[in-house]
Chains A and B, each alone.
Chain A
Amino acid sequence: MKKLLSLVLALCLILSLASVSALAEGGKTVLKVSNYAVLESNYTKFWEDVETGFEAAYPEYDLVYVTSEYSQTPNTVITAAGAEDYCDAMFGELSWVSTLAYAFEPVNDVLTPELIGEFDATILDSCVFDGECYAIPYYVSPFILYYNKDLLAEAGVQVPTNYSELAAACEKLAQLKSPITGNAVVPFGQTTASVAISGTSLTAFIYNFGGDVLDLETGKMSIDNEGFTEALTCLKSLYDAGYMTANQKLKELRQSFANGELAMYYDQSWGFSGVSGINPDAAAFTASAPALSGGNGSGQSVLNAGVFMVSNKNGNAEGVNKFIEYVTSDEVNGHYILDIAAGWSAKTAPMEVQAVLEGATGSQGNLKAVPMIETLNDLNLELDTLAQNVTLNGMSVEDAIQAFKDSAAYQEIGE
């Protein structure tokens, strides 16, 4: 019996190997694309449709997604690349470029100048690491202010345009209860939890005040400026007044906002898909506005984007060009930003955006890049600690900045 079973297993193995070889003999070239979003339910169908559509348009290619959970994706790609198992392309965050640049190649070495020329040059400039552009932007997703129209109307306040107006509005909003859960309303949300994206959001908050974190030219630390201090002072005063909850992740803020327990908060534009995933009726009460201005700032935000990194390390440059051309086509890209994730087109030709973004129109033009430095993740986490120190830890802004400088020096950030 055992011998028979072994024989059957061996036959199965041979048949599977034979079928794999048959696939290879079919003449299809495998294109490996790392894409965490395939695992996220809001995006799964879109990316599956991309796979089907691409393979129908280019039958000579077999598009294979390499998937892993969002936060594990950079390490997964690095580990595989270390074993010379390279991806041909990768869908990820702009902030991953400095980490993953060496696992991919400059876009000029892989993609045709015509294809690259379709994208906004300013946005391409923000994808530069070590003097070379390493990514093609898929959509622009700056931090904007999402607010609950119904709660603002109930409190009788206008949408704020600066932080003084915000503080005045918060006073009234703090008296309200959520119409959905009956819990008290938190007037304002700014993520400060110990995750890298919170650091990016805090950089945007500092930019609102005209402040700097890194020197745009040299990438060196540049925090001795009025805007930086004013932003932290404002954050502290909002927290001390009880107008915001500290140490919240963006997904927690989305949950609160979807439940009508948060009157307004900063999120990347695509964050609205998270909110509507929690509460499909959220579209009825959600509207957006540009980031507020503070001090001498003009409400600038960080240039944040979903990007594709590309490589010819497997000798598939032609296939990679076809894939990027297909996925960034007006039809596919347009569908993505209009129906899947709220954002603005990164191409020179304009595209229609989701209705919820109408209030924030202009935000996509009031952006400042974050220089791509190797220690960007460390910087973001240290910014989180800085924000936690002035809020939860009750430290003075001056002491917290000094502690930040000490940690940044240890981490060799911007050196």
Chain B
Amino acid sequence: MERQLRFNKKTGDRLFWLLLILPALIIITTFILIPIADSVRMSFTEYKMKNILRGTPATWNHFENYAKLLRNKQFLPTIGRTFGFVVGVVLAQFLLGMIFALILNSNVRGARLIRSVMMMPWVVPTVISALIWLWIFQSQYGLFKYLVSVFSLGAVNDFGILNDTSWALVGIGIAALWKQIPLTTLLLLAGLQNVPDDMIEAATIDGAGYFTRLFKIVMPYMRSVIQVVLTMAIIENFKQFPLIWTMTGGGPSNSTTTLAIMSYREAFVSQNLGSGAAVTTIWMLLMIVVVWVFRKLMKRQEID
């Protein structure tokens, strides 16, 4: 009888647990898993905008969308450009965010005010940020061109960063950093403030210098925060679309075409949803691999 009661209690607990996670499960399945599965299915079909308008179903075309992508001479350079953009921006974002967080954590005067003011770029909608930077970088009358001219003592007078195929992605990177560094700084600052003071004091008494304390005590204590910050930054920049589309539309000469831009162009400019879904699927797989590798690396460091 007692056993029966225990079993029932266990089953009841399980049912209650299931009931609690059911809403989340339904939402994730409906809004994330099913759309992803549908997108992957769509990537194996010929499915264009006219299919939607005419109400005709997609037709299965096996791997044709993927085969076509591989025939595109722009595809591999686009993958390389996407990785270059992610690595460059994430590293700069982390370094600058860490420097700002350390400054704000050092009881500098007006730290609260600086913290509030520096959150402004993060609050500004991405498209608005893109338009602001577009004007700053404008090749004829932009502020950036003027500054380059002043700092080069008049040696460089016509530098339009978004007009230069070698520099355009850097220009977008600068805009991305302006937008993303505030949140990174805030998260890292929260992590810094959780590092126990007694540990720092003990290390200082033992004669540890500033950098030794930073790399041997502070950073290891912040590992979980750093992991979250970097994971968020990788994902954010991997899927960066509005900044690039608004500022350059993928040009000039495709020099800022990343996988996000290519996916949009295939799906909504070429109106080929099947082909767009193929780019998205590859893009999603690459992002999963990158985040997985990154988390493995962080885990290994933790074990070490």
Min distance, Cβ A301 to any Cβ of chain B, angstroms: 24
Task: Decide yes or no: A245 and B140 within 8 Å by CB, A81-B53, A102-B54, A375-B270 being known contacts.
Answer: yes
- A-facing residues in B44-103 (Cβ within 8 Å): 49-50, 52-54, 68, 71-74
Q: B251 contacts A99, CB within 8 Å?
A: no
- The distance from the CB of A86 to the nearest CB of chain B, in whole angstroms, is 10
Interface flag for B242 (CB, 8 Å): no
Give A414 Cβ to nearest chain B Cβ, in Å: 13
Contact in complex: A374, B265 (CB < 8 Å):
no
B268–A75 CB distance below 8 A: yes
| CB-CB under 8 A for A247 and B269, given A393-B165, A410-B73 | no
| 8 Å CB contact of B253 from A75, A181, A252, A389 | A389
Pairwise interchain contact B250-A194, C-beta atoms closer than 8 A: yes
Of A26-34, A320-328, A376-384, the segment with at least 4 beta carbons within 8 Å of chain B is A376-384
**Inter-subunit contact B252/A388 (CB<8 Å):** yes
* A85 vs chain B, min Cβ distance (A): 12
- Would B252 and A392 count as touching, CB distance under 8 A? yes
CB pair A102–B140 under 8 Å, yes or no, is no
Residues of B within 8 A of A75 (CB): 268
- Segment with Cβ contacts to A, from B156-164, B218-226, B281-289: B156-164
State the Cβ distance, A367 to closest chain B Cβ, in Å: 26
Q: A82-B52, A102-B53, A381-B269 are in contact. Are A246 and B163 (CB under 8 A)?
A: yes
Query: Judging by beta carbons under 8 Å apart, are A388 and B251 in contact?
Result: yes
Check A410–B71 contact: CB distance below 8 A. yes
Name the contact of B269 in the complex, choosing from A193, A378, A389 (C-beta under 8 A).
Answer: A378
Complexed CA–CA distance, A378 and B164 (Å): 23
C-alpha spacing A82/B138, complex, angstroms = 39
Q: Which of B72, B140, B271 contacts A99 (CB 8 A)?
A: B271
- Which A residues, 175 to 230, have Cβ-Cβ distances below 8 Å to chain B? 181, 183, 186, 193-196
Interface string of B261-299 (1 = CB under 8 A from A): 000010011110000000000000000000000000000
A392-B165 in contact given A194-B249, A194-B251 (Cβ < 8 Å): yes
B264 to A: closest C-beta gap in Å: 10
Contacts of A252 in B (CB 8 A): 138, 140
Check A247–B162 contact: CB distance below 8 A: yes
Binary B-proximity of A146-183 (CB < 8 A = 1, otherwise 0): 00000000000000000000000000000000000101
Given the known interface contacts A99-B271, A194-B249, A389-B253, the answer about A82 and B53 at a Cβ–Cβ threshold of 8 Å is yes
In whole angstroms, how far apart are the Cα atoms of A411 and B74 in the complex? 12
| A410 neighbours in B (Cβ, 8 Å) | 68, 71-73
In the assembled complex, the Cα of A183 lies from the Cα of B253 at a distance in Å of 28
CB of B259, distance to nearest CB on chain A (Å): 16
Q: Does A358 contact B (CB under 8 A)?
A: no
A-chain residues with CB within 8 Å of residue B253 when the two chains form the complex? 385, 388-389, 392-393
Q: State whether A194 touches B140 (Cβ < 8 A).
A: no
- Are B271 and A385 in contact, with the CB atoms below 8 A? no
For residue B187, give the distance in angstroms from its CB to the closest CB of chain A.
Answer: 33
Given A102-B54, A194-B248: A392 and B164 interface contact (C-beta under 8 Å): yes
Partner of B265, one of A82, A183, A248, A381: A381
Sampled A-B contacts (18; CB under 8 Å): A78-B52, A81-B52, A82-B53, A99-B49, A103-B53, A193-B249, A245-B139, A247-B162, A248-B139, A248-B140, A255-B141, A261-B141, A374-B50, A374-B271, A381-B265, A385-B251, A407-B73, A407-B74
Q: List 16 additional A-B contacts (Cβ < 8 Å) besides A245-B140, A381-B249.
A: A78-B53, A102-B50, A186-B140, A193-B249, A193-B251, A195-B249, A248-B140, A256-B141, A374-B50, A377-B271, A378-B269, A384-B251, A385-B251, A389-B253, A392-B165, A410-B72
Q: Which 7 A-B pairs have the closest CB atoms?
A: A194-B251, A194-B249, A102-B53, A82-B52, A388-B252, A388-B253, A247-B163
